[in-house]
Copies of this chain bind each other. A is one copy, B any other.
Amino acid sequence: MPTEPSRELETFENPHPDRDYEIRFEIPEFTCLCPKTGQPDFATLHIRYVPDRRCVELKSLKLYMWSFREVGTFHEAVTNQILDDLVKALHPRKMVVQSDFYVRGGIRTVVEAKYES
């Protein structure tokens, strides 16, 4: 049965909460829409975090990324929103979200936002 895009981020218990360790994701399949023109934008997302009690489940992360497919949002706003959503779901010790957007108007844009508890 087909899955659907979802804004819900599932989590599981951190197997080693006594140690500070880092988890990194590279997601080259992010797309959203330009809020001005409605045209698609494409980015590679890089996420890294030090988990506290919860880790993000990989499949729900994929569906969460998919959920932006029809959303109109600026580069700066969506990067900060993804950080906010992940921080809210995971309460990590540290987290960095970086979005690397494909060329528009001859310019490639990267936005990077950090959270530290």
Q: Mark A residues whose CB is within 8 Å of B.
A: 2-4, 14-16, 19-29, 31, 36-40, 42, 51, 55, 58-59, 61-62, 65-66, 69, 74-77, 79-80, 102-114
Residues of B within 8 A of A104 (CB): 58, 106
Inter-subunit contact B80/A16 (CB<8 Å): yes
Chain B CB within 10 Å — which of A22, A36, A114 has the most?
Answer: A22
Given contacts A20-B114, A37-B2, contact A15 B107 (CB under 8 A): no
Inter-subunit contact A15/B66 (CB<8 Å): no
Complex CA gap A113/B61 in Å reads 22
Inter-subunit contact A28/B76 (CB<8 Å): no
Inter-subunit contact B2/A39 (CB<8 Å): yes
Can you list 5 contacts pairing A with B, beta carbon distance less than 8 Å? A16-B80, A21-B111, A22-B110, A26-B110, A58-B109
Q: Separation in Å of the A77 CB from the closest CB of chain B?
A: 4
